[in-house]
Structure 1
């Protein structure tokens, strides 16, 4: 039974959609919604919290706060970065810079790793529990046919390895834990907006549609699937 939930990155398109879906499916659960500015959604069991993602002390305090009354049954990390005003995806080696690599690795790999460090020990050990972080199909090395997007691809590949490592470690003492990466599909959001024109019809999802599909997948997974990466449709993404 899912009684206590945390969503980190709850103000983004996917994070806010996941908060809405979880609140709908589990109206009696406590839902901790963490974001830099605090979750705008409220009502029911939703409790909004501000979280400075760049402070490990803040992350540790958030994990303690969310689990002080009962262990966490589901944690969903909805943070990620592909581009902003200063950083654009690299098309070639000549576009690489230390600054771009550091920025994307910090958001896509280091922050989720620190969240795992502090939230995974708070998962329920008596019943099935789930920790999921947004990953991406382009983080698959074996699936890479186009190249480009060096920092984003590499940072998501690194995230997938950290998820695998964490699943092995946590699985030794929490046999029912499920720790996975999730590919949400191409979601209509600020992250995908510059790249939507080349998409075939039917391949652009609303955030709410993606959240529904991802939650269905997360609820279907078992502990022997921990450490892997799955797409919104339940298909496993090859490393």
Structure 2
């Protein structure tokens, strides 16, 4: 992919990273080093900066060397409409929102587990997966839309997963997660078409980060070859490199960590 616009390092405005777990935090750290013109906000239910202080020695060992001086935390619960509305209101004060990266997702949580067969599918788990993996990204887009610039490029990107591809589904299973990610893909593809008419300088992207060593993938890492299990820092570098090669002409695409398109 060619670079159709100035790199993120030259952008001026605000960047919002939603979900401040492993990949989200690594993205903030990478942006702090590489995008000096962007005010950085991490939005999540819990203030990740407490974890940063607690885990600072581990961060240094893993290569995460951010100072966090340019990073603010804003509270956000993606499943709460009032919380999304408060985020939208807050974003309208200050610089334009040039970059939104949604990294929030759920694969296993409490009784929620990837299903191996039909008998394990239940309504509660479907609803939980869809609430976070499908509904939240498009409702986030709705909340932040007023803060997006009309006269400058911007990115709205959300983490999807290769298992959400219908064309690439050869193993089955994981009903809730697969279907919720596929639904997210359709919702944001539809959003991209609308914004291409109303906000033509914007780029909406669905990104597969590869298998990354985070709590989300922890129960499944044993079967992943070491060279295919990425650190959060490596995943963040991949994702920002992909975004640097995308512009409005590619809006609505589904991309792997190496910049290759993924079939729907």
- Shorter-chain TM band: over 0.9
Q: Which shifted more, 39-48 or 66-75? A: 39-48
Q: Corresponding residue for 1:135?
A: 160
Indicate whether 1:37 and 2:46 are aligned.
yes
Shift of 1:231: 1.0
Large movers: runs of 4+ above 2 Å: 41-45
Q: How far apart, CA to CA, are the structure 2 residues paired with 1:52 and 1:105?
A: 15
Indicate whether 1:26 and 2:71 are aligned.
no
Shift of 1:84: 1.9
Contact 1:32 1:66 in 2 (8 A): no
Q: How far apart, CA to CA, are the structure 2 residues paired with 1:142 and 1:183?
A: 15
Q: Corresponding residue for 1:124?
A: 149
Indicate whether 1:7 and 2:17 are aligned.
yes
Q: Corresponding residue for 1:65?
A: 90
Shift of 1:187: 0.3
Contact 2:16 2:40 in 1 (8 A): yes
Q: How far apart, CA to CA, are the structure 2 residues paired with 1:176 and 1:28?
A: 19
SS in 2 for 1:205: coil
Shift of 1:216: 0.8
What aligned pairs does 1:1-239 form with structure 2 within 5 A after superposition?
1-10=11-20, 12-40=21-49, 43-239=68-264
In structure 2, runs of 5+ residues without a counterpart are 1-10, 53-66
TM-score normalised by structure 1 residue count: 0.95
SS in 2 for 1:76: strand
Q: CA RMSD in A?
A: 1.3
Shift in CA distance, 92/43, structure 1 to aligned 2, threshold 3 Å: closer
Relative CO higher for 1 or 2, CA cutoff 8 Å, sep ≥ 6? 2
Contact 2:156 2:205 in 1 (8 A): yes
Q: Which shifted more, 226-235 or 56-65? A: 56-65
Shift of 1:38: 2.2
Q: How far apart, CA to CA, are the structure 1 residues paired with 2:247 and 2:145?
A: 17
Contact 2:150 2:199 in 1 (8 A): yes
Contact 2:79 2:131 in 1 (8 A): no
Q: How far apart, CA to CA, are the structure 1 residues paired with 2:42 and 2:177?
A: 26
Q: Which shifted more, 120-129 or 81-90? A: 120-129
